[in-house]
Chain A
Amino acid sequence: MKLLEIKSLNKSFNTKEILKDVNLSISSGKIVGLLGKNGAGKTTLIKLINDLLTPTSGEIIIKGNKVGVETKKVVSYLPERTYLNKQMKVSEVIEYFKDFYKDFDDEKAKKLLEDLDLDIEEHLTKMSKGMQEKVQLVLVMSRKADLYILDEPLGGVDPATRDYILDTILSNFNENASVIISTHLISDIERILDEVIFIDKGKIILQSDADKLRNKEKSSIDEIFRRMFKC
């Protein structure tokens, strides 16, 4: 059974088609790069998988279930924006995650926060946006989920921290889980990718094993991306 299956998925706002007949499947144990230019439909696709948008038509199946309560138990999602209640302290947010997600490991979260020099007794409102994003990443990666979906996890982060984040991702998900990383900072994540999905103008234009693609095109994913999406 595939971990994630998307069949004939379409999403429109008014008459504007954002996603057009998207079909894809992702197996367990893969790190998948969802790559595309700005406005290609990456975030829309991710939001549909996470029940933040309602499909116009089509189907999304995660571990045999349609998007709903059961799929949310196994998907750990990091959005591109800060979504935590700013009135809360970090320790309260940890408690919140512990309350709602059975697979959340609070000890691991505290350890990761300590590594990042983040004070768990600090209010989120007193933290910079970058610090809040780090807290969110820690929370998301402290779950023992089957599918991690990370939307632009490196977006607002300095290059030094990017490596730490990638290492955190690599060392904190279990072997049977898959990770979907949406980004346009391809060179930064290339080294960790098993599979790539190229999306353009709402359509999946390529899904391939990363190594096979590199060998076939005799160039890096970053170069292939630049060639394919040259303006």
Chain B
Amino acid sequence: MLNLILKRIAAAFFVFIGATFFTYGMMMFAPGDAALEIAIARYGGHDRVDGATIEWIKKKEGLDKPFLYQYCHWLKRVVVLDLGISLVREEPVWQLIYTRFARTFELALSAIVIALLIAVPIGILGGVKQGSWMDSMGVTIAVIGVSMPNYWLGLVLIILFSVKLKLLPVFGYGDWRHMVMPAITLGTALTAYTTRILRSAIIETLQSDYLIALRARGISNRLVLGKHILKNALIPVVTVVGLEFGMILEGAVITETVFAWPGIGDLMVTAVSDRDYPLIQGLVLFTAMVFVLINFLVDVVYRYLDPRIRLS
């Protein structure tokens, strides 16, 4: 087990190096003069920038040094969470990400709770009563849920609840009423996805030989379901919820744009529109690292839950 964790950490470190390399390299190969872009972003407008300023920025930011030197220099700062200063907002990038991430996390968590609350009962019911009308309805709704663009769902919700029924505020961050529509928007695809996974996991478990053996020994259906099927079927659900973190994050970018939710996705959109290089780099690196961390945790939990893997 210890060896395995060490191996995983080594792999995660490799991903960290690779991810930082790409995030940094991408800026180097960006078209245009980086120093000029920085100057324009900082002093607002082409005409306020002269050659001397550009030279000064080049020196100060180390842009005249070779790529590998710059990269190592940058990496050294990244390790101590110094991601630089946002060009437009003139605040430390790490602080911006940190405060915004809390709000995204809040949103993501409520989406996951919604997803589990709906997906677990429907998935179990569908899997156990495979082929019933409830199951086929669940399957149909789930496939529609997976296929629906979530920003469109957000717009439809706004039309319905804010424009027609006037029940909920259109956008913004505040009390629970602001949370309802973004959480549903973000949670729908996740719900649909989890339902599908859980249903097929239950069906697969039901077909296994040991369950037939249990039934043959006359153990009641309810006990079989509670003790054996769920335990086995929940393992893939844990994995999926963990692994689909990327999906949640992508969903968050879009949902936050639709509802003007001041989270990390909203920050990303504005950073890209402003061409705020340090902020874009910081955000990309941050999401990648959170993804790696969550993958790592899921892997450990998964191994703990599944004795077949734990033992081998």
Q: Do A and B come from one complex?
A: no
Residues of B within 8 A of A (CB): none
